Structures are given as C-alpha cells and as structure tokens.
Amino acid sequence: MLPSLPDLTGSARAVSLPLRQPFRGITSREALLFEGPQGWTEFSPFVEYDDTEAAAWLDGAIDFGWLAAPALFRSRIRVNATLPAVEPSAVAGVLDTFPGCRTVKVKVAQLGQMLADDVARVAAARDYVGVEGRIRIDANGGWNVDEAEHAIHALAGFDLEYVEQPCASVEELADIRQRVKYMGIPIAADESVRKASDPLEVARAGAADLLVIKAQPLGGIRASLDIVAATKLPVVVSSALDTSVGISMGAYLAAGIPELEYDCGLGTAALLAGDVTSSPLLPADGSIEVRRVQVDAALLDRYAASTDRTAWWLERLGRCHAVLAGRP
C-alpha cells in the first residue's frame, strides 16, 4: 500500500553532500531522506530525470522504508573501487580510499576526453592493483559501436573483467557483444536495464552477458530480485552515488541474491566528502556490511540543502507520489 504524502514529508530532509572529486559532471550529491517503519530510506533520482522515471526511485525508497528485508544469504558484500575520469596522477589517491578492494571500475568515454586519456587511466589502475587485480570499465553509453570496438581493442591488453554499457541502445549492445565475443570480454548492461520501459528487453535480445542493477531505479529490492530471477543472468549490484542510506538499500539487495559472481559497486560512499551518518558504509578489507544506517541529526543539519533546493525536492516528491498514486 502506498504511504500517504504526509507520511513521507513528515520526516523528510534534503541534503547536499560534497564529493571528493567531480563525478558525472557534478561536485555535490543531493538526496531526500525520510523515515519509514523499517528505518531511514533514500529518494535520490538524478536531477535531470523526469517525474515518470523518478517515480520508480520513490517506489524503491518506499519499499526499503516500509517493508521488511527479504531473506539474506550473506552479511558482507565484496565491493569494487570506483575510479572517476581523473588524471593518471590522481588514480592512486582515489583508490587509496577503497582499502582492500581487489576490483576497480574505471570510468571511460568522458565527454571532452580522448581514448588516450582512458588508456592512461586504465593503465594506472592496473599498475595500482597489480596482475591479480580486476579491472572493469564503464562508458555510460558514451560510444557508438565502431568507437566501442576500437576502444575495447585498445584496452583489452589490461585484462578487462567486463565492459559496462559501452553503447546506449540495446541494438548497439547486441552488435558490440557479437563483434568482441571472440575476445572473451563480457558486455554488461546498466542504463539499458534501469532506464528501459522493459528492463528484461536486454536479456531477451541477447545484448549482455551480465546485468548491473540498482535498487532505487528499478523500484526497490523486490522488483530487482524479480528481474534477477527472470533474466537468469549474473548480476552486479551497484549504487547511484547514494548516501550511506541508499548504499544500505543496495547491500540488502545484494545480500538477497543467492549467487554473486562479481564484486558489487557499493563502495561509492568513499567518493563522498561528507555523509548523513557517523557510521558510513565505507569499504573495509574490500567489503561493506549489510546493515541499516542510522542518520545523525547533526550531519543532516551540516549538509542540509538550501531552502530553495529543499522546496524543489519536496515538490518533486509530491509529483512522483502522484505518479505512483495514479497507477492502475
């Protein structure tokens, strides 16, 4: 049952958390937090998303705040380090904030950068983790098929674990997957799952070897588990640069999946220069705990969004609630 809007707004707090370095073109991460019967939860669709897409994130927030967790198969989740599109000289400093992580996800295809920048960054990451470490790259759909093929060839020598969302469309993913299949480099789908009207399309089209799933955008833990069961593909549970509250949601999702073959992208609290809890879900020995997060009132005050931004988030919450209330 959908909680009333006053049930959500009664405890709602908008925050703006600074980042250690720019990520996805932003220098701070905004989120709206509110408390349900099960504890604190997070609503944080990126600001450019429309209300229909953002409403799925609200579904996810309500799922986590109002419903009990599913059965859990583990109490800790192995996580990867996430490397933004920084200069090679900055790589070690970023990766030092992910202690014990054996896997690095390197952001590539950054607007305004060249393939040579990607090669240099991936090379620095490989030097950092050594031959036994794992390197995966994420293009966020930034290449066309020919560009992706060229880039994958240029980066293959660094022993890639997989390539995440090299192209934007399902058709392009299927094409590039066939082109590089002989190289033995798997293709992962992220945006083609969480931003699609039908998240199962990418699996039916044979366009990916594995899926990257995120609890909030997919409508919550239960909806995400349904997708995992329906596709029967390996999955990586990842975050959307959440606060530790949102990371906790992802950790419960990862803990509810029977088999996890890959390290998860749930270490991104390390990219934040501030958080909403005095006990953040930071990587330790390459993993994070599966636990709910208690927010710290003083930190909510310290990182409170401006009056204008708080009003913007509350208005957005109301619109997205109306979208959910209008569903059949």
| CB-count burial class (<10 Å; 0-12, 13-18, 19+) for 98 | buried
Mark whether 107 is an active-site residue: yes
Give alpha helix (H) positions in the chain: 5-9, 51-66, 91-95, 115-129, 145-155, 170-180, 191-194, 201-204, 221-231, 244-255, 297-302, 307-325
For 85, the token pair is 């599109």
**Given the residues 105, 181, 214, 232, the one annotated as active site:** 214
Residue 63 CA to residue 220 CA, distance in Å, equals 6
AA identity, residue 110: Q
Burial profile 120-133: b = 16 or more Cβ within 10 angstroms, e = fewer? bbbbbbbebbeeeb
**Given the residues 105, 107, 181, 195, the one annotated as active site:** 107
AA identity, residue 25: G
Residue 75 CA to residue 72 CA, distance in Å, equals 8
With H, G, I as helix, E, B as strand and everything else as coil, classify residue 78: strand
Q: How far is CA 220 from CA 196, 307, 317, in A?
A: 15, 29, 16
Mark whether 214 is an active-site residue: yes
Q: How far is CA 251 from CA 72, 245, 257, 282, in A?
A: 10, 10, 10, 12
| CB-count burial class (<10 Å; 0-12, 13-18, 19+) for 220 | buried
- 272: closest CA among 306, 310, 252, 246? 246
Q: Supply the residues annotated as catalytic.
A: 107, 214
